[in-house]
Amino acid sequence: MLTQKKPALWVVLALVVSLPISAAELSVPPSGRTGLAVTIHNGDLALVRDSRRVRLPSGDADLAFADVSMRMQPNTAFLRSSAGSFIVREKVFDFDVVSQSSLLRASVGQEVSVIRVNPTNGRDIEARAKVLAVANGVVLEIDGRITTEIPGRLVFDALPPGVRTQATLLAGITSEEDGEVEVDLSYLTKGLTWRADYVAELSSDRKTIDLVAWATISNTTGTDYPAATVKLVSGDVNLAPGQPTVMRAMDMARSAAMSDSIMPKSLAAFHLYAIDKPVTLVDRQTKQLALLSADTVGVRMDLMSRSDGIAMRGPMNGKLRTSQVTRSLVFDNTKDQGLGTPLPPGTVRVYGQDPSGARQFLGEGGVEHTPKGQEAQFTLGRDFDVTVVREQTEFLRASERIIISAHRVTVSNAKAEKVRVHLVENLIGDWEVVDQSLPHTKVQGNAEWTVYVPAGGELQVDYRVRLRL
């Protein structure tokens, strides 16, 4: 049943490929484009909104929307007419673009030219060949004889019908009026990805950093997106099958359309970063765009050692476990500290100065999505000047389900200044610290001690814990 025409009607394309598209084909080329917008989510997902002008005839026609993503999800595609002047009957997504195999498939039963080089004089010798089959290998008929090999290079008289040079979405439509209208095609696609790459410059006093973030965008869709309005979304989108994918695409399009202000902006449970100038995303290319920058962000150096929890499961028989602390830069993502903007997940690379003033690479690590107001942490690597030795001093299985285990943690500092170290002990089951040399804090189910170790010295933490398994 045909729906009534409405102004600015959203028309959802039904996935119907069983019926051939047979009306007159009407090209909607990129040259008629009036607008192009791309919203790229974390992970391999993007929403493309492509607007083009086309003159529609009254009655049935097939719109050939050329140069779309080869990795389009066709069941998410939908059209919007600026005048609500047509309805969509069916669609076909044709992504089998021109290649030797597609040309041969389309030429079965037809003649092509086979050209080989005369080894005596180097001149081309041309013969006509009929393409008999290609499904299980190429089979040709040349001068009444059958060959299963191509004895030269193939030359086709013309581009066979149905073979396209670009991925194309065909939409069978019915229009009540003729005239020029703007047609908006929106679809979800794979092949457009983005991530954040941070560069942090640590000051000589190690109290501040200059932070720059780049958005690294990669395009493997098989098509270019010239002068597009680009928005980047930080956050995980739910793609569970409970809600139809096309409805999710419509929701994404409406949400993104509301976000035309400066970056970043909250978008439901996500954060949206709008690039303020048009961007050209070329296929098979990675591009970096400046995302944010901040100078003199206040930071502190954090040293942490986390136990492996093995000593809580059984007797260690005097075995010592030695490790170096993990070194991280930590700062509060607030305006007071020089930042105060949502940080998308990505990779941070930290640079500093050696005693001669030369720039040196200090390490890299991942950063999670960090809303403003929360603590951010950049992990740099191991600090070999601070050593932690863990020793089990007692292990008693009081009953089948109760264990009493005592431990000594020794922190040694070879630096010329005092250091602060976080000791995180991974405990199992329902636990209680029954004796300790320093007070602990319970953090995310673990026992944590913060200790200050003097320059060139060491410090010990002893504790006994009762665990109920």
| Chain segment 313-364, per-residue pLDDT in tens | 889 888 999 999 999 999 999 998 888 888 888 999 999 998 888 999 988 8
- At 321-333, the pLDDT tens digits run 999 999 999 999 9
Q: Is the pLDDT of residue 184 over 60?
A: yes
How much is the pLDDT for 118?
86
115 occurs within a structural domain = yes
172 occurs within a structural domain = no
- Phi then psi dihedrals of residue 74, to 5 deg: -60, -25
Stretch 106-126: mean pLDDT, rounded? Answer: 87
Burial of 252 (0-12, 13-18, 19+ CB in 10 A): buried
Q: How many domains does the chain have?
A: 2
Kindly report the CATH number assigned to the domain that includes residue 448: 2.60.40
Which DSSP category does 311 fall into? G
109 occurs within a structural domain = yes
389 occurs within a structural domain = yes
Tell me how crowded residue 159 is: count the other CB atoms within 10 A of its CB.
12
- Alpha carbons within 13 A on the beta-carbon side of 220: 7
Chosen domain end from 140, 155, 170: 155
Chosen domain end from 91, 125, 155: 155
- At 59-75, the pLDDT tens digits run 888 888 888 998 999 88
266 occurs within a structural domain = no
- At 18-41, the pLDDT tens digits run 334 445 688 888 999 999 999 999
Structure tokens at 89: 């009957």
89 occurs within a structural domain = no
How much is the pLDDT for 236?
66
Q: Is the pLDDT of residue 186 over 90?
A: yes
Chosen domain end from 135, 155, 175: 155
Cis peptide before 454 (omega within 30 of 0): no
Task: Return d(Cα 170, Cα 371) in angstroms, integer.
Answer: 43
Task: Return d(Cα 39, Cα 341) in angstroms, integer.
Answer: 20
How much is the pLDDT for 239?
60
Range of the domain at 397: 299-333+374-468
How much is the pLDDT for 23?
53
- At 213-247, the pLDDT tens digits run 999 999 999 999 999 999 999 876 656 454 444 43
198 occurs within a structural domain = no
Task: Residue 173: name the closest of 30, 65, 51 by CA.
Answer: 65
Q: Is the pLDDT of residue 94 over 80?
A: no
318 occurs within a structural domain = yes
Task: Return d(Cα 398, Cα 402) in angstroms, integer.
Answer: 5
Mean pLDDT highest for which of 16-25, 162-171, 386-395? 386-395
